[in-house]
């Protein structure tokens, strides 16, 4: 499995729960957990990066098939190596000769790998 080793400016740890919501005609709703575990992910930004780094991000994203294939990532929070995949789209913007990029990963659970 390839490893994500490219540099980035900021990394946010994102923790959530999968909650299913059923809405009813009377305006009430029912909420329940989809599964009984936390969902861990990471959100990244890389600001004012070069064209070479921007192209490296894009190449890694397309090589992984976007959200399709998994890879490893070492968390800066606890040095744990996680199996992850992209969670959504890769975004890049150009401003005054430099690039700003945003993307996120979601940790792949054992039963998803």
Max intra-chain CA distance, the chain: 55
* Structure confidence by residue, pLDDT tens digits, 33-67: 776 677 899 999 999 999 999 999 999 999 999 99
- Mean pLDDT computed over 4-28: 88
Q: What is the DSSP letter of 88?
A: S
Q: Are 73 and 85 within 8 A, CB to CB?
A: no
Q: Is residue 57 part of a domain?
A: yes
Q: Is residue 101 part of a domain?
A: yes
Q: Is residue 79 part of a domain?
A: yes
Helices (H), the chain: 51-63
Q: Is residue 41 part of a domain?
A: yes
pTM of the model: 0.77
Q: Is residue 2 part of a domain?
A: no
CB-neighbour burial class of residue 39 (10 A; exposed 0-12, middle 13-18, buried 19+): middle
Q: Print the domain residue range for 40.
A: 10-107
Q: Is residue 50 part of a domain?
A: yes
**Number of domains forming the structure of the chain:** 1
Q: Is residue 4 part of a domain?
A: no
Q: Is residue 86 part of a domain?
A: yes
- Kindly list the distances between the CA atom of residue 38 and the CA atoms of 18, 72, 76, 109, in Å, as whole numbers in the listed order: 8, 19, 19, 10
Which two structure tokens, joined as six digits, stand for 24?
A: 């009813």
Q: Are 45 and 102 within 8 A, CB to CB?
A: yes
């Amino acid at each position: 499995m390839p490893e994500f080793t490219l540099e980035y400016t900021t990394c946010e740890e994102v923790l959530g729960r999968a909650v299913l919501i059923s809405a009813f005609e009377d305006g009430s709703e029912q909420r329940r957990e989809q599964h009984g575990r936390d969902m861990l992910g990471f959100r990244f930004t890389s600001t004012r990066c070069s064209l070479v780094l921007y192209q490296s991000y894009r190449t890694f994203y397309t090589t992984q098939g976007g959200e399709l294939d998994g890879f490893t990532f070492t968390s800066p929070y606890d040095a744990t190596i996680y199996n992850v995949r992209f969670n959504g789209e890769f975004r890049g913007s150009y401003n005054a000769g430099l690039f700003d990029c945003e993307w996120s990963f979601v940790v792949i659970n054992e039963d998803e790998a």
